[in-house]
Amino acid sequence: MHVLAAAAAAFIVVRWLTFLNRWEFLRVEFKDPFLAVAQVVAVVGALALQHELSFTHAVLSLAIADIGMAVAVLIDRLIVAASLWPPPQRRR
């Protein structure tokens, strides 16, 4: 259960940073290396708060958070693709 909580914390942190990029609320843009570090820090922090910090828990949490982010990015891209398809009809 600690692994899922840490993964969820990392997912939420990285997802909100991604949304801040997209909505341009901040003057800085978070690049992928920064988001990866933020994910690791969120996992380690969440596990440390739960007193369950171990290498195995950290790796599992990061893997679950990565899979969650991959699914979220896939869904985002499918939504964008669906909004662009079919192409608008040209008037003659």
**Is 89 contained in some domain?**
no
Residue 48 is assigned to a structural domain of this protein = yes
Q: Looking at the domain assignment, is residue 33 inside a domain?
A: yes
- Residues with Cβ within 8 Å of 53's Cβ and at least 6 positions away in sequence, in order, are 44, 47
Whether the Cβ atoms of residue 16 and residue 39 lie closer than 8 Å to each other: no
State yes or no: cis peptide before 86, omega within 30 of 0. Answer: yes
Report the chain's C-alpha Rg in angstroms: 17
Q: Which domain holds residue 49?
A: 2-84
Q: Is residue 90 one of the residues assigned to a domain?
A: no
Taking the C-alpha atoms of residue 72 and residue 90, their distance in angstroms, rounded to an integer, is 33
Find the mean pLDDT for residues 8-12: 96
28-85 pLDDT, tens digit per residue, is 889 999 999 999 999 999 999 999 999 999 999 999 999 999 999 999 899 988 888 7
What stretches of the chain show up as alpha helix (H) in DSSP? 2-23, 32-49, 55-84
pTM for the complete prediction?
A: 0.82
The verdict on residue 50 lying in a domain is: yes
Instruction: Report if residue 92 sits inside a domain.
Output: no
Domain count, the chain: 1
31 found inside a domain: yes
